Amino acid sequence: MSYFSDLAQQYIAGSWSSGSGSWDIVDFNPYNGDKLASIAVATTDEVDQAYRSAERVQREWAGTNPYARRLVFERALRIIEEREADITAAIIAELGGTYLKAAFEIGLTKDMLREAMQIALRPEGRILPSPVDGKENRVYRVPVGVVGVISPFNFPLFLGMKSIAPALALGNGVVLKPHQNTPIVGGTLIAKIFEDAGLPPGLFNVVITDIAEIEDAFLEHPVPKVISFTGSDYIGRHVATVAASHFKRTVLELGGNSALVVLEDADIDYAVDAAVFSRFAHQGQVCMAANRVLVDRSVEQEFTEKFVAKVASLRVGDPADPDTQLGPLINATQADHLSTAVNEAIEQGATALLHGELDGTLMSPSVLTGLAPDASILHRELFGPVVLLVPFDGEDEAVRIANDTPFGLSGAVHTADTERGVRFARRVATGMMHVNDGTIADEPIVPFGGEKASGVGRLNGEATVDAFTTVQWISIQHGRSGFPF
């Protein structure tokens, strides 16, 4: 099948249909500008239909034996494995992802489906003691009901599935709103996978739309009890505010400004490799990417020479070419904003060891150093192939610089002394920190999430169970209670 023609529709209540909005979301290939699909937007009425459908079907799904539920995810995994070549082509076309990036995202997605098989069996109830004689306290863990998921454009298949698959496995219904730049890979492709895997029709729905059409209807609707959002901190603040005003829980996986720290005893060649991958994977469009590379001044010259040489060797171009390492940014607006930020930093005194050229949505790498501590570019997320080299004198200064950011998602430290690395990592205010590795990592049973402006809540493993279930206390009085009147 042709994903961009056959799946360019809404998926609501188990049916494929055109949106009833008066305008279209147009899906473009970010590398060559080719039009991939045109999709009439969903309206507030269709958002309502999607949520109501998920609510109706969820009641029966929640009562389904979890061993039966897990079979859906086994079949979904096989479908992805059988269609991996087609999914890879779709990621390259719609996201501008390279072959390496596509393989990485698909691998993570398959791992998440394997985890969903296990998570279906994970909720456990408890029996708790009581100070009242003859009373039995039971605590049941139950699905929240319906989850609203808003996915991003950078890893839309995986980051959508990261919430969708566990939420479904735990007995919930789901409505997904994918990013406008990735409506197929991040939206209806997932619907097709689950449809073919035998998920009950109507339990999972996809609405392709925009806030210009529906405003906050996706967040304000009375049906969803949890909103899972992955995206920028700016939009995340709005999501949190609206959801809280309607007494909804949120899981917010937001941006980052991660630091990869190279201490004086690090393996320099290995640290260079880790830093290059941590900054330039998927053109730097990764929330965990190492925006800042902090290097002890005693090894600054050696590291910088080797780092710049390796970055300069990265091949930029057509993501459909297997030799390409850096493809396009998602759209021209993102590319222009990033190029402007680089030029402003240079005007304010930064030194460009490499000054990336902009050609449409293709941007070659920039490496900046000599930044003033208050330079604005040091304190923001850079979603593209730009890296900031910052020297430091000693661990205390490195910790201070690493923490000098409103974000706290990921990070890494390189040292010959593993326990020294652990001690350093524990001083950094971030949700995740990696010793002698890159900043980009995600494993299906390890809690994933950030501190400060990088988000609220965690996903993966037991954290996901907490996110998409709630508890109910039921007490049983054996015999008679005594009442004061």
Widest distance between CA atoms in the chain: 83
- Average pLDDT on 385-399 reads 98
Q: Is a pLDDT exceeding 90 seen at residue 277?
A: yes
Same domain, 277 and 221: no
Residue 448 lies in a domain: no
Kindly report, residue by residue over 415-463, the tens digit of the pLDDT: 999 999 999 999 999 999 999 999 999 999 999 999 999 999 999 999 9
Same domain, 212 and 310: no
Kindly report, residue by residue over 104-163, the tens digit of the pLDDT: 999 999 999 999 999 999 898 999 999 999 999 999 999 999 999 999 999 999 999 999
Helices 418-425 and 395-403, packing angle to 10 deg: 40
- Domain of residue 375 covers 259-435
**What end-to-end distance do the CA atoms of the chain give, in Å?**
72
Read off the amino acid at residue 98.
Answer: T
Residue 418 lies in a domain: yes
CATH number at residue 427: 3.40.309.10
Same domain, 228 and 277: no
Kindly report, residue by residue over 326-373, the tens digit of the pLDDT: 999 999 999 999 999 999 999 999 999 999 999 999 999 999 999 999
Rounded to 10 degrees, the C-alpha dihedral 308/310/311/316 comes to: 150
Residue 144 lies in a domain: yes
Q: How far apart are alpha carbons 80 and 195 in whole angstroms? A: 13
Same domain, 301 and 206: no
Among residues of the chain, what percentage have pLDDT more than 70? 100
- Residue 370, number of CB atoms within 10 A of its CB: 16
Residues forming a β-bridge with 469? 143
Residue 480 lies in a domain: no
Read off the amino acid at residue 71.
Answer: L
Same domain, 367 and 227: no
> What are residue 255's phi and psi, to 5 degrees?
-80, 180
Same domain, 249 and 350: no
User: For residue 1, what pLDDT is reported?
Assistant: 64
Same domain, 235 and 270: no
Residue 119 in tokens: 């998570």
Kindly report, residue by residue over 278-322, the tens digit of the pLDDT: 999 999 999 999 999 999 999 999 999 999 999 999 999 999 999
User: For residue 334, what pLDDT is reported?
Assistant: 94
Same domain, 419 and 402: yes
Nearest Cα neighbor of 104 from 236, 295, 285 is: 285
Q: Beta strand 386-392 with 366-369: parallel, antiparallel or unpaired?
A: parallel
> What are residue 435's phi and psi, to 5 degrees?
-95, 125
Domain count, the chain: 2
Q: Are 383 and 336 in contact (CB under 8 A)?
A: no
- Average pLDDT on 172-184 reads 98
Q: Are 465 and 119 in contact (CB under 8 A)?
A: yes
Q: Is a pLDDT exceeding 80 seen at residue 171?
A: yes
User: For residue 309, what pLDDT is reported?
Assistant: 98
Q: How far apart are alpha carbons 248 and 245 in whole angstroms? A: 8
Residue with tokens 């008679």: 480
Same domain, 315 and 199: no
Residue 442 lies in a domain: no
Q: How far apart are alpha carbons 398 and 265 in whole angstroms? A: 14
Q: Is a pLDDT exceeding 80 seen at residue 199?
A: yes
Residue 62 lies in a domain: yes
Q: Is a pLDDT exceeding 80 seen at residue 260?
A: yes
Residue 87: which region, alpha, beta or left (left: phi > 0; alpha: psi -120 to 50)?
alpha
Q: How far apart are alpha carbons 114 and 182 in whole angstroms? A: 24
Question: CB neighbours of 216 closer than 8 A, spacing ≥ 6?
Answer: 242
User: For residue 400, what pLDDT is reported?
Assistant: 98
Residue 431 lies in a domain: yes
Helices 156-169 and 84-95, packing angle to 10 deg: 130
Concatenate the DSSP letters of all residues of 390-444 into one string. EEESSHHHHHHHHH-SSEES-EEEE-S-HHHHHHHHTTS-SS--EETS-S----T
Same domain, 146 and 70: yes
Residue 333 in tokens: 């607006």
Kindly report, residue by residue over 398-422, the tens digit of the pLDDT: 999 999 999 999 999 999 999 999 9
> What are residue 460's phi and psi, to 5 degrees?
90, 140
Residue 443 lies in a domain: no
CATH number at residue 176: 3.40.605.10
pTM of the model: 0.96
Same domain, 302 and 397: yes
Which sequence positions are flagged as catalytic? 253, 287
* Cα 244–Cα 226–Cα 180 angle in degrees, nearest 5: 95
User: For residue 482, what pLDDT is reported?
Assistant: 85
Same domain, 284 and 414: yes
